[in-house]
Structure 1
C-alpha cells in the first residue's frame, strides 16, 4: 500500500503544475486541478496518521501542527467522507484502502446516543462508503446509527436534542442548534432503505419545528433555540457561535440552506423548497456578502470589511446552491449557479486553497470554528474540506450534464 500511495502522489505532483487561480480557466479545469490537489493532500494526511489508528484530522494548532480527534468528536466522519469522494472521482487502490481504514475508525459511533451529530459521523463516512461500494456491513452500521439518533427525539418539543453536557446543560433546558438539520439526512435515507416511517416522522417533525422557531422574518437563523421540556414552548433564542444573538452567523445560515435543500430532495415537500429558496436569497443578496462570495464568519461582524472569512461556510453554501439549482426555475437556477461558480473559483484560488504539502495536509485555509470562544479561528477545518470536495464533485456532475 505504501509504494502504491507514493507512486500516486508522484503521479499527481507531475500533473499538478499549479494551483488553480485564474478566472480565465474553464471551470472544469479549475475543478479537476482542485481535485488533484485535494487527493494529494488527503493521501499525505492519511499517511501521516497511519500509526495512530484511533485518530482523525480536526484542525491545526497555533504553531501550524496537526490537531486530531478521536471518533467521539463531532467532526470524525468528515475525513473518511473526503476519501470516499476522491475515490469516486478517481478510483485507486490506495484511496479505497485509506477510505475503508478511516471509515472503520468511526464505527463505534453507531451506538452513540449522547450526541446529535451521529449523522455527521456515520453518514458522511459509512453513508458515502455504502453509496459507492454497496458494502452490506456499512448498511448495518447506518441502521444502528439511525436507531441511536432517534433516541434523542422528544415528541413534546418536536426536535432532536443537540447538547447534553456542561456548560450548555446549565444554560438551556433543551437546546436545538441549526446544525442539527444536517443529521436528518441519515434518518430520511434510513426511512426509505429500511421501510420504517419512524425515521422520517422524526426527521420531518424536527425540520418543521425548526422552520417555525429558528428563523427570523428575513429568513436568517438563530444558532440555538431552547425549549421548555414540559410544555414544548420556546424558552430562549441565542446565537452561541456568532457575533450576537441577533446576528446572522455565517455557518448557521449555511447549515439551514443545506438542510432544507436536502429535506426537499428527500421528501418532495415544497414547504422545504420555499424555505431553502428564502435562505438562499437572504445569503446571496446580503449587502455584506463579499465580492468573492466567501462570507465573513458572521454577516453582522462589527469589523467588516476586515472581519475574518469562513471558508467552511462558503463551501457548505456552494454545495447547497449547486443542489438547489436543480429544484428551481431557470432564472433562479442561473442565479444560484453563478454564485456557486464564483465560490468554487474563489475557494480554488491561492487565497483559500493550500499549496502541496502545506497547511498540515488540509485542503482549504481560512475557516472559523468558534470565534466567541477563540477556538479554531482562521484555520483549516476538516468539514470545510469535506463540503468543498462535495461541491467540486457536484459541479463536475452538473458540467457533465451540461447544466453548469
Structure 2
C-alpha cells in the first residue's frame, strides 16, 4: 500500500506539473526589479529607439522622488519650484514567445507612455497628442491612487522572439509636482480563454478586464483540480497493475539474488578448499626437498671426509686406495641427486627452472642451483655447505647471478626469484 501511495503521489505531481505548464501565468518583470533610468535633464525623441543605455543609472523600482515607498530616489532637477516634467526608464527582457497573452501593470505618478522595441504600446493618463519631453499628464494622481497598478492586456504579438527593450517615460501633471513614482510588472498568460477574452474586449476598461480575467483564472484553477482528479482515477488501475508487476519483479530479484549469493558462497568454499589442499601439497613437497637436500649435504660431506682420510693413509696398496678415492670422486660429481631435486622443485614451483632458463638462457647449472636455494630461503652458509664451496664464493656467485639477470644494484635477487612464479 505504501508503494501504491508513493506512486500515486508521484503521478499527482507529474499531472500537476503538466497542467501548470498548460495553464500557467508567470511574472516576467516584478515590482522591485531593477531598471536603467535617466534623470539628468531632457532627452531627444530618439531615446525611445536607443538600444545601448549601459551608461544610464540603475535602480530598483519603485523609482521617483517625494514618496517614502520609492526604492530609488531620482533627481527632479535644479529647481524644486520648476521640476523637470519627464523621467526616462529602460529595461531589456528576453522573451521566448511561449505565452498567449501579456498583462502589463503600471504604477505611475502622474502619466506614462510605454514603448516596446521603439514602438508605442500604450499611454496612461496622457493626452492623445504627439508626446514630447514637456508633454504633461492629463491630471494629477493623488493619495492612494499613486500606488495603484493599472492593468493593460495584450496578445503575444507585442514582443518579438528573443531580446526586447521596454521603454517608459513618466510625465508630471505640472512643474511643481510634489512627487514622482514609477514601477511596472509584466505577467505572461497561457490561459487560452484569457487570450480570447482580451482579443474580444480590447476596448473595454481595465477594471472590467481585470474582474473578468480574475474569474477566468479562478475557473481554470477549478478545472485543474478536476483534471487532476480525473487523471488519478483513470490511472488508478494501471498503477495497481504496475505495483503488482514491481512486486513480482522484486520477489524474483530477491530469489535470484539469494541464489547467486548461495552459489558464490559454495564456489568460494570449494575454491578455498582447493587452495588449502594445494598449499598443503606445496608445503609437503618443500619439506621433502629440504630433507632431500639435507641428506645430499650429509652424504657428500661424509664422502669428502672419507676421501681426506684415505689420502692420509700410508700403505703399499696405493692402487686400491686410489681406486676408492676415484669412486668417491665419482659419487661427489654425479648429478642424479641434483636432477631429482630439480624435478621436485619444478613440480612444486610452477616450472621455476624452465622459466628462469627461458628468460636468462646464459645462466649455468651451478647458478640455477644457487637460485633454487635462494628461493628456498636458505642462508649463505647453508648454500656453501651444499655446494661444497666457501661462503665468500656464494656471495661472489650471487653478484654474478644478478649481473646475468640484468638486476640493478638496488634490486633484490631474492625478491626477484620469489616473484618469478
Name the TM-score class by shorter chain: under 0.3
The structure with the greater share of residues assigned to strand is 2
Q: What is the TM-score of this pair, normalised by structure 2?
A: 0.20
Q: What is the TM-score of this pair, normalised by structure 1?
A: 0.20
Higher radius of gyration, 1 or 2: 2
